[in-house]
Structure 1
């Protein structure tokens, strides 16, 4: 059952507000709008990239009916604090997998991705590797390029692609900045994650040679935080 269907089944609709993440592709917000309710954005935990319970609590109002928790990148969110918040504030808590992450993983696929992630964790330099956490299946291996924000990350990504590394930006624009959902809210961890995150290839079919190539290309860029992006981008070619 999709998120919109679950909201309808719970009686959520016109006049209600539903708390959703802005670090998202918009799927949660679209589901809320589809049932006639209003999406309200809360900030994320910078480690899990999922809604932070304290930030959710801060935006709950008299019209808040539910919270949609979206799990990120194969790492299960810490649901305990949000479950407790839901009990305390009388809110429905719905859990949604990231778009494209439906369906069960085969054990061998998860095992392969975890091996690749372990390899990257121990060898990548100049980027911040993800914190694993219990149960992480690494549907995406998401690093942080902690320079001066989006210009550094975007330039870094362009160099990787030019050298044959098929990386992607998980959330190019936070949902609260999209025209159809624009809100005047302060979400510093969401903004920072959108500016710095980059997903590297980690699929089960990745070969060891390809993994070594990814590490080699990434590490050849050195510390991208300090040099001006234009300088190392030019030098990379």
Structure 2
């Protein structure tokens, strides 16, 4: 087994404590850097600080919302000890590229486990995927989620991007949907590198852009076809920009 293979670890769940435990087991701590995403939950960056190391934020691919391997490569220094990628809204991180990058640089790769350590029900996943396929074909005026060829998207969230001028247009679009009985949620209200505990001067243009214009539509497995059609019709009535 290669060095990278031996040092590719999956935590017991998604919490900062579980991820930190794995980092500590790998001997990662004070003086080390760990590359993490800013778009998504704060647990990866929190776990790095819990281990005594420094989180280094890398930018995302604006199509998948996952870490961009090129941005990760640009963030590697002599102090880098690990990469901590996450699957975003159910789209898998680009692990083949990240594993190859880790092997070339003798880095560990640490990944979150299942939420609560419990695998998801296959029926719920299949239902969400069916809902996503319908919305992909029915929606107009918004940018629907992208799935990398060969990837299996779980659609924990169905996050679209609203064309226009970022946050103002996205927020108006969300309010207009709410007036039509569709409860959409802001995908990532604040990127992690902008939060007080992790604020830094790092420039992450794609992270900022996607955080400003993305919106998650209902896609949970309990939706009826009538409700799903109403979601699509309400979005299409708005025509993208409001």
Is the structural similarity TM-score above 0.5? Answer: yes
Tell me the secondary structure at the aligned position of residue 84 of structure 2.
strand
Q: In structure 2, do the counterparts of structure 1 residues 63 and 13 end up closer, same or farther at CA, with 3 Å as the change threshold? A: same
Gaps of 5+ in 2: 1-11, 13-17
In structure 1, what is the equivalent of residue 213 of structure 2? 196
Which sits farther off after the overlay, 66-75 or 133-142?
133-142
Match of 2:138 among 114, 123, 130: 123
Cα root mean square deviation, aligned: 1.5
Report the CA distance between 1:103 and its aligned residue: 2.9
Whether 1:212 and 2:229 are equivalent positions in the alignment is yes
In structure 1, what is the equivalent of residue 81 of structure 2? 65
The 5 Å alignment of 1:145-224 reads: 145-224=162-241
Report the CA distance between 1:132 and its aligned residue: 3.0
In structure 1, what is the equivalent of residue 147 of structure 2? 132
CA contact 2:82–2:110 (8 Å) conserved in 1: yes
In structure 1, what is the equivalent of residue 51 of structure 2? 35
Q: TM-score, normalised by structure 1?
A: 0.90
CA contact 2:69–2:94 (8 Å) conserved in 1: no
Q: In structure 2, do the counterparts of structure 1 residues 48 and 207 end up closer, same or farther at CA, with 3 Å as the change threshold? A: same
Report the CA distance between 1:139 and its aligned residue: 1.3
In structure 2, what is the equivalent of residue 228 of structure 1? none
- How many residues are matched? 224
Distance 1:47 1:181 in 2: 25
CA contact 1:70–1:97 (8 Å) conserved in 2: no
Distance 1:47 1:103 in 2: 28
What whole-Å deviation, never above 9, does each CA across 1:158-193 have from its counterpart, x for those lacking one? 121232212111211111111221111111111111
Distance 1:101 1:158 in 2: 33
Distance 2:62 2:131 in 1: 23
Q: TM-score, normalised by structure 2?
A: 0.88
Q: In structure 2, do the counterparts of structure 1 residues 95 and 205 end up closer, same or farther at CA, with 3 Å as the change threshold? A: same
CA contact 1:71–1:97 (8 Å) conserved in 2: no
Q: Which runs of 4+ in 1 moved over 2 A?
A: 100-103
What whole-Å deviation, never above 9, does each CA across 1:67-111 have from its counterpart, x for those lacking one? 10011111112201110110111111112258x585322221111
